Amino acid sequence: MEEIRKILAAVRLADERFNLIENGDKIAVGISGGKDSLLLAYALNLYTRFSRKHFTLIGITLNLGFPGFEGDYLKDYFQSQNIEYHIEDASTVYPILAIQQERMGINHLPCSICSRMKKAAMNKAAQKYGCNKVAFAHHADDAIETLFLNEINGGRVATFAPKMRLEREDITFIRPFILTFEKSIIKATKQLHLPVRPSSCPADKHTEREEIKQVLKGLYDKYSQCHTNFLTMITNAPKFDLWFDELNYQTRKSGLIVKPVNSIEDKTAVLYIRMKVFVEEQNCPLDEEITPEENSANYFLLVYKGVNVGTIRYYIDNGYYHIGRFAILSAYRKMGLGRILFQWLEEYLYRNNGKITIAFNGQAYLKDFYESLGYTTDGKIVMDAGIKHYHFERTIDKLPASCFLPNEE
């Protein structure tokens, strides 16, 4: 059983590197019946014995309503492994996916929608059985394939995370196989004679992911070193060298640029401006100035003739683009810089996303300013950090007057 030892070593390394499992965890393992999920349950069951951590497992299979689904055959297997096992009804998923497939005019079920619905159903099942974590069997090759798919289809360098915390649901998703390659999983599954059955998903082996898997296989066959190098690349922060820090967007005012915040220095500059404006000037408590959206928000610096003079951010929630933490240092107000920054962000969001609806709570004393930009409010006062605010909204469905190119007013 040499292969399972390699896999357990990879699980331990992932656990140590990404802090996946802690004492007292109750982990729901998502079981599809395929090789990855069955081996994950087997490996984690062994890991409970030698990891020196006290945690428990339960296996959960979702009946998504796919034709030909079978789950009962796994009950005896999990009983033999002394792992609690449940089949949960989520059969409404398949009809919804079939409707979406028809609406989207594609030749297979929409994988992204299926993934979100499965996560929601698994989260619900995990909470039902008192679990604080959910383990999925996504492995290293899945992470690499997702990276390439995002680059090809989304123009972004991104893959899924080893661990993802859902604060509202009080659940953490973990991926203990994140450093395990699929070829090891295949070998171990065969050696252990696990009761693997083909996927009941109608789209299995007929997706774009399968196509990119074959493309990557060709690369691995020709350049064997790139397989491990692609995985190394995902965590190789010291060698990460792209153009993010070079982005400096011109505006219509000479000497005024907008800079996306990526470096530690720029993040520090943003924090300095917020402390000066909101904490010192407006007496906002520090614990209320720092919000849960800090990690999900996108920040920008306003730089005038080499000096950091303002900041603004946005994040997306329920289809709305929420703008906030909009601040200009006092010495640079009444110069029209704030209006340019705000309108620049509107155009930036529209250019990248098309029709958008922007929403935010703006300070009451700036009501005339926001209304002059086309925002409306219901007039109800909202208190935030002891300061009066109104809720403002605006839908942008055509390109605003350009703020990008220099054009001194």
Residue 408 in this model has a pLDDT that exceeds 50:
no
Bigger pLDDT: 102 or 345?
Answer: 345
Which of left, alpha, beta for 94 (phi over 0: left; psi -120 to 50: alpha)? alpha
Query: Is the pLDDT score of 409 beyond 50?
Result: no
Q: In order of start, what are the domains of the chain with their CATH numbers?
A: 2-239 (3.40.50.620), 245-396 (3.40.630.30)
Q: For the segment 31-41, what is each residue's pLDDT rounded down to a tens digit? A: 988 899 999 99
146-180 pLDDT, tens digit each:
999 999 988 889 999 999 988 778 899 999 999 99
User: 3-state class of 353 per DSSP?
Assistant: helix
For residue 402, the model assigns a pLDDT of 58
pLDDT value at position 91?
A: 81
The average pLDDT across 128-134 equals 95
DSSP structure string for 159-183: ---SEEEETTTTEEEE-TTTT--HH
**What contacts 278, CB < 8 A, 6 or more positions away?**
284, 289, 325, 327, 385
Mean pLDDT, the chain, rounded, equals 89
Per-residue pLDDT tens for 360-396? 999 999 999 999 999 999 888 988 878 899 999 999 9
Q: What are phi and psi of 213, to 5 degrees?
A: -60, -40
50: enclosing H helix or E strand: helix 35-50
Which of the residue ranges 65-79, 167-181, 323-337 would you say has the lowest mean pLDDT? 65-79
Task: Identify the bridge partners of residue 164 per DSSP, sorted by sequence position.
Answer: 173
- In the structure, what pLDDT confidence band is assigned to residue 403 with cuts at 50, 70 and 90? low
Q: Which residue has the higher pLDDT, 114 or 108?
A: 114
Query: How many Å apart are CA 63 and CA 85, to the nearest integer?
Result: 13
User: Could you read off the pLDDT of 252-306 as tens digits, one per residue?
Assistant: 899 999 999 988 899 999 999 999 999 999 988 888 888 778 888 999 999 999 9
Q: What is the mean pLDDT of residues 319-324?
A: 93
What is the reported pLDDT for 355? 93
